[in-house]
Amino acid sequence: MTTTLSVENLRVSIPLSAGVLHAVRGISFEVAKGETLCLVGESGCGKSLTSLALMNLLPSRAKRDADRIEFDGTDLLGVGERGMARMRGNSMAMIFQEPMTSLNPAYTIGNQLEEGIRLHKGVSAREARERAVYLLEKVGITAAASRLTQYPHQLSGGLRQRVMIAMALMCGPDLLICDEPTTALDVTIQAQILHLIKDLQREFDMAVILITHDLGVVARVADRVAVMYAGEIIESGDVAEIFSRPTHPYTQGLLNCIPVPGKTRHGERLGTIPGIVPSMIGEMAGCAFANRCSYAQDICQQHVETHTVAPNHAVRCVRAEQVRTVAAGSLA
């Protein structure tokens, strides 16, 4: 499998009056062609900033740092703003969490769908329109041609998100970043949109980074998972492996929080992780989760390396081996 995107030691910091907010603290991951990587974690753990950092679309005061960000064999750290602009919406595209406000109210759907491809591919107005109609049909919008003249306010949230997906696909990107694409939508529509993204990924053979705080979504679409906590990836690996042998105490806690069909009885309380997420202002020594972790010991206050516990399974926890044995015991 060819690697589409590989990120090494990505950091995002935002200077605030209270100090520097280290929102993303040195994360590394890869996504291959045709693969879906799910970035999962509680709200505020740095998922959106990570995705914006990849596109170099961070808010102006946020600072990005990385050892390497390589996309399609190009070093993104070296291409400059013009080079990034050539790739955005072209070979890498993004869908956002807020379908209601992500389209410009002043222009028609057609206008907004077509402007990117006209810029990047230099196609004629007619070719752009044909592509737009083709993709609107692909994302399951009926009467596609007549939608082109409609304005965003004439469409529902679900339809707008479909339009956003079609828009992202206009130039045939190699990488599609979806930042909580279904969070703002009704449950039934959520499932349809996820299906759609999955289908389109297969059809166009894209690498997809799907960001979510919902492990149910992960189970449905991910090939690989990276679990984020307080700006760090604390566990990553193949989806089956993570779900069957979650190793980081935080991942275990998250998995205890989702209902399991057949296992969780109706009305039963789901588990919650006690404690609160630490402030991300300033440097953090040791494990960020230690203050909420039932396995925590003194050693957890020291620097933690990510290490491999199984093929395709890495964990950032000093006590990973012990946790795995305890967890295995409790499962048996």
Contact residues for ligand ADP, defined by CB under 6 A: 14, 21, 23, 41, 43-49, 59, 280
Residue with tokens 């630490």: 278
- Residue with smallest beta-carbon separation from ligand ADP: 48
Nearer to another protein, 90 or 201 (CB): 90
Q: Establish if 48 lies at the interface with Mg ion (CB under 5 A).
A: yes
164 binds another protein (CB under 8 A): yes
Question: Which of 158, 192, 198 lies closest to 178 in space, CA to CA?
Answer: 198
Q: 191 contacts which partner out of another protein, ligand ADP, Mg ion, none, CB within 5 to 8 A by kind?
A: none
Q: Are residues 146 and 109 in contact, defined by beta-carbon separation less than 8 angstroms? A: no
Site string for another protein, 8-47 (x = CB under 8 A): ----------------------------------------
Residue 212 binds to Mg ion (criterion: CB under 5 A): no
DSSP summary character for residue 209: E
Q: Give CA–CA dist 215/177, Å, rounded.
A: 18
Pairing of strands 92-95, 313-315: unpaired
149 binds another protein (CB under 8 A): no
The residue from 7, 136, 148, 167 that contacts another protein (CB under 8 A) is: 167
Q: How far apart are the first and last CA of the chain?
A: 36
Considering only CA atoms, which of 159, 55, 61, 44 is closest in space to residue 102?
Answer: 159
Q: If binding is defined by CB under 5 A, does position 50 make contact with Mg ion?
A: no
Which residues have C-beta within 8 Å of that of residue 238, sequence separation ≥ 6?
223, 224, 225, 312, 313
Q: Measured between alpha carbons, how far is 160 from 20 in angstroms, rounded to an integer?
A: 36
C-alpha span between 209 and 34 (Å, rounded):
11
- Sole binder of another protein in the list 85, 191, 281, 327 (CB under 8 A): 85
Q: How far is the CB of 141 from another protein (least distance, A)?
A: 18
Name the binder of 70 from Mg ion, another protein, ligand ADP, none, CB < 5-8 A by kind. none
Q: Is 182 in the site for Mg ion (CB under 5 A)?
A: no
- Regarding 137 and contact with another protein (CB under 8 A), the answer is no
How many residues touch Mg ion under the rule CB under 5 A: the total is: 1
**Cα atoms in the Cβ-side hemisphere of radius 13 Å centred on 156:** 6
The minimum distance between CB 9 and ligand ADP, in angstroms, equals 17
| Number of residues that this document lists for the chain | 332
By CB under 5 A, residue 247 contacts Mg ion: no
Picked from another protein, ligand ADP, Mg ion, none, the partner binding residue 14 (CB below 5 to 8 A depending on kind) is ligand ADP
**In Å, how far are 117, 143, 163, 173 from 124, measured between CA atoms?**
9, 22, 21, 19
Closest distance between another protein and the C-beta of residue 171, in Å?
9
Chosen residue from 13, 45, 66, 96 binding another protein by CB under 8 A: 96
Closest CA to 29 of 49, 4, 46: 4
* 174/180 with CB nearer ligand ADP: 180
Cα–Cα distance between 181 and 210 in angstroms, integer? 8
Q: Identify the sign of the CA torsion 219, 212, 151, 58.
A: negative
Q: What is the contact surface with another protein in residues (CB under 8 A)? A: 55, 57, 84-90, 93-94, 96, 98, 101-107, 112, 115-116, 119-120, 151, 153, 164, 167
Residue ranges binding Mg ion (CB under 5 A):
48
